[in-house]
Chains A and B, each alone.
Chain A
Amino acid sequence: MGAGATCIRLEKNVDRIAARYGMHAEITIMPRHVHLSLWDTDSADCVTAIASVAKCPISFNVNTRLSELSWEIADGKTDFTQARAVLEGIDSFDRQSEWLLLCLVPAANAAFCGLFGGDAIAMFIVAIATLAGYYLKQSMLRRGIDLRVTVFACAFVSAVLGATDILFSFGDTPAVALGTSVLYLVPGIPFLNSFSDVLYRHYICALGRFADALVLTCCLSAGLCAAMLLMGTGMF
C-alpha cells in the first residue's frame, strides 16, 4: 500500500494467498490503516488484524516482487516458512542509486520541456534547475525534513533557476523553461492511483490519495509562485 499499489491489486494478492490456505479474506483499506479479517472456510473461526500503512517511498519493484510472491504461494511453489523469509527479504525501502537519479531526472524534465515546445536553451536551463532541485530534495529527505516543506523549497529553487531564461533572455521560449522547471515534483503516481481506486469504488482510499497529491501540488505551486514574485517574472 505504501509502495504505491492500487487497492484492486492488494485485494487480488491477498485473496489468492488466503485461498491457498483454505481461508476467506476480507480487506478494508483506509488511507493510513488496513483491516484484514480471515475466515477458516471449514469453521466459523475468524481473526482480524489492523496495521498501519508503512511510510515508504513508491516502489514498483516491491509491488512486482509481492505480486510474484503471491502467485508462488497460490501455485504451491513456496511454503509458508519460505514465503515468510522471502517477504522479510523484500525491503520496502529499496533505494535507487542517488547518482543515477541525479542523471535521469534532469534528463527527463529537460525532455518534458522539449515536449512542451521548449528550445534547446530552455531544455538546458530546465536540466540545471532540475538537477539543483532534485539534489536539494534528496538532501532534505535524507535529513528527515517534511515532504511538503521539501517540495516547496525544491520548487522555489528550481523556479528561481528556471526564471534565469526570462531574466537574461537566453532563448526564445523562456516561459516554457520556467513552467516546466518544477514538473518533476508533480506527484503523478498518487494522482493516477487515486483515480484508479475510484474506478474500483475504493472511494475513501482514493480521496486520501488524491488529498495527499493535491497538498503536494499546492506546495509546489506555492514555491513556484514565491519564486515568480521574487524574480519579478509576473504570475502566469
Chain B
Amino acid sequence: MKASEGIETSGRKPSRPPVVAPGHSPGSVTDQITAVVLDRAPRWWWVAFGISFALVMLLLRALTKLLFEGTGIWGLNIPVGWGFAIINFVWWIGIGHAGTLISAILLLARQEWRTSINRFAEAMTLFAVACAGIFPLIHVGRPWLAYWLLPYPNTMDLWPQFRSPLVWDVFAVSTYATVSLLFWYVGLIPDMATLRDRAEGKFAKVAYGFLSMGWRGSATHWHNYETAYLLLAGLATPLVVSVHTVVSFDFAVGQLPGWHATIFPPYFVAGAIFAGFAMVITLAIPLRAAFGLKDFITTRHLQNMGKILLATGLIVAYGYLVEIFMAWYSGNWYEQFMILNRIQGPYQKQWMALLLCNVLAPQLLWFRRVRSSPVLLFMVAMFVNVGMWLERFVIVVTSLHRDFLPSSWGMYSGTFWDWATFIGTIGLFLALLFLFIRFLPMISIFEMKTIVPKQVPNTAEEAPE
C-alpha cells in the first residue's frame, strides 16, 4: 500500500479535508466506534428515545382508530382518493434511497468517503422503508387482507393482475426491503464479531456472538465476504433505480394530467436521491456532534453530500421545468389547465413553498462556505425534507382535485388522524434509529480500517518493526 495514497497535500490542488482525521490506527478506530455502543447511554439519548417512543404510541393510537373506524377518519374523498397515505409512502420510500445509493453505487464508484456514512444510511433506508410500508398496507382499507396482493395458490382461485403497476410496486418494495436488510446485515457481521470480542457483559457477548454467527475474519472468510458484498452492491444498484421507477409508474401509467408523463421515472429517482441525502445530512450532523465522531464524519463528507444534494436538486428542478414545458408543448387542454391550476389555483401556496424549498434553497450549496458549515447545510437539508413532502402533495392532490368535469371538483386537506399517522411514523423512524445507534456500530468499523492505513501512513499498528 503506498503511503502517499489518499493524502492530498500537494500544492497544486486546493487541499481537501481528509476522510478520516489524522492519527488513527485500526485499533483506535475500533475503540472509538465501539465505545458508542459499549459505554453507558448518555442522558440525552434517553430523552430523545423517550420522545420518539411517545410518537410511536401516537402512531399506534392512530392505527387503532383506523382499524376500528376505517379510512373515513382521513381527509380522503372523491375526487381526491389518494391523500396522505400515498404522499407519505412516496416520501418515505424516497428517503430510503440514499442508503443503498451510498452503500452500493458509491462503493462501485470507489468513493472512499462513503465508508463513514454508509452504515447508518443503510439503517436509515431500512427504517424509512418500514415506515413507507405501513402506508400502502393501511391504505388498502382492509389491512388484514393485504396479503391478497401476493401471488399464492388460494381457495378463491384468484391471482394478482400482473399488468398493474400496483402489483409491480408490491414486488419492488418488498424486494427492496429484503435486499436492503440483507446488505445491511451482511455488512454488520464482522463488526458484530468485533463487538462480541470487546463486550464485557455476558448477555452482550452472547447476543453479538449469536448475531455474528462465529465470524473469525480468516482470509477465506474475507475473500468470500468481499465477493458477496461487491455482488450485492452490483445487484442493489439497478434495484435502487428500479424501485422509485416503479413507484413513479403508479402515477405515470394512469391517464391523469399531472401524472401521465414520461419524465416521471428519472425525475422520481433523482427526487428520491435528493430527499435521501437531505435526510442523511439531517441525521449525520447532529449525530457526529453528539457522539464526538467528527474524526470519521469530517467536513469532507458534509461537502460531498452538499454537492450531491445540489446536483440532484438541479435534476429535480429540471423535472419541474419539463412538466411545465410538456404541458404547453402537448397542446392538450387538460394538461395546460392542470399546470395553470397548480401555479394559480387553490394550492398555489404549496406550490410556491415547494419551489422555495426544492429549487431556491439548494442554490445556496453553490457556495463552499455553505457546504462546509454544518449549521447552514443542516438548514438547507431541512428545507429539502419539507420540500420533497410538498412535492408529493402537489403531485397527488393538485392532479386529483380538479377532475375532468367541473361538477366533480373538490378540495382536500389532511385531518387530525392523517397528521397523527404521519408524525407517528416520524417517531417510529427516529425510535428505530436511536435503538440502532445504541446497539449496533453506526459506522462500519472494518471498512474504516481498510481506509485508515491509506489515509495515515506509518502509524504504530502498520509500521514494520
A binds B: no
Residues on B close to A: CB < 8 A? none
